[in-house]
Amino acid sequence: MRIFRFTTAVALTVAALSSGAKAQTDYPNRVIHVVVGFAAGGGNDIFARVVGQKLEQTVGGTVVVDNKPGAGGRIASEFVAHQTPDGYTLLVGASGQMSIAAAIYPNLGYHPTKSFIPLNMIASFPLVMVVPGQHQVKNVADLIKYAKDNPDKANYASSSPAFTIASELLKLKTGMPGTAIPYKGTNESTLSVVSEQSLFTIADGPPTIPLVKGGQLRAIAVTGSERSSELPDVPSMKEAGYPQVDTKLWSGFFAPAGTPAPVVEKLRKALAEAIADASVRDKLKTFAVNPGGPTGAEFGKWIDDEIKSYDAVVKAANLKFEQ
């Protein structure tokens, strides 16, 4: 009887392992759900749908986008982190809910590189520093001097921790004053600058660039070391002499930690092929972003390095954010 039970147990174990291996080999054999932490129609939702549509072809299965908005994307991140790690529930995570959140919220219910396996970055884009269109400030050096000469007028608009961190980093590197004025969204913060209620803002490109091209705002720099293809005449922060002000926003695909390696590799390969597709890249570029970016371990290192960088600025500037 004992021999029979032992043999049966072994047989069941082998069967379970074989079944698991077959499930990985057959992946995907059911719908893949891609969870987005923002409402339909927003940038990350569009990124997920544009890439997801092509992913259906490259991975060989049905892909459905599910929106779970709230708390700046953190609700969706925590939800996906606790799903079965089988490759059928993925997250399209943005820098705000991943690396930035990990740096500014001590009680975050997940970690971007411990609770998840970073798969592929979809796209990244720099932030744009703008002042009122008719203001005397023409460049970053002018801004710093004006702020120091007029500390009572040295305020900046911000609608995101990412924008606040970039602005505070510039203050740390230059010694210029500046008081943050919080807004609910980029549209509100840019209008604050247009009406000269705020001296400047550092914000995301898609809602800001049209106001620059329309003359209501003047762009004086883009964060990072490279110019934006949408604003080729605007210098980078590196050209302005402040390469440390390198804040970028990005969006990428993540799988829950523990997802089997064969599934992860298949997803990475399929995502890389989808994001490299010319039609996908063209659609992404219409949002003033740079398609593609690091994958796998390189993507994970990118995120961990960002967390350290953001954490240093938050501590140096003594910033506090409400979770």
Write the pLDDT tens digit of every residue in 38-74. 888 888 999 999 999 999 999 999 999 999 999 989 9
CA 144 to CA 167: how far, in whole Å? 12
66: how many CB neighbours lie within 10 A of its CB? 14
CA 169 to CA 251: how far, in whole Å? 22
The angle, 0 to 180 degrees and rounded to 10, between the axes of the packed helices 205-213 and 186-194 is: 30
Q: Per residue in 176-226, pLDDT tens?
A: 999 999 998 888 999 999 999 999 999 988 889 999 999 999 999 999 899
Average pLDDT of the chain to the nearest whole number: 92
The pTM assigned to this predicted structure is 0.85
SS3 238: coil
Tell whether domain 6-125+248-316 is in CATH 3.40.190.150: yes
Most confident of 11-25, 108-122, 285-299: 108-122
Decide whether 6-125+248-316 matches 127-222 in CATH topology: yes
Specify the CATH number of the domain 127-222. 3.40.190.10
| pLDDT score of 215 | 97
Q: Domain-by-domain residue ranges, the chain? A: 6-125+248-316, 127-222
Residue with tokens 């219910």: 109
Q: Report residue 282 as tokens.
A: 């063209």
Q: Report residue 240 as tokens.
A: 């302005």
Window from 20-34, 101-115, 154-168 with minimum mean pLDDT: 20-34
Task: Tell me which DSSP letter residue 24 carries.
Answer: H
The DSSP bridge pattern shows strands 32-36 and 89-94 to be parallel
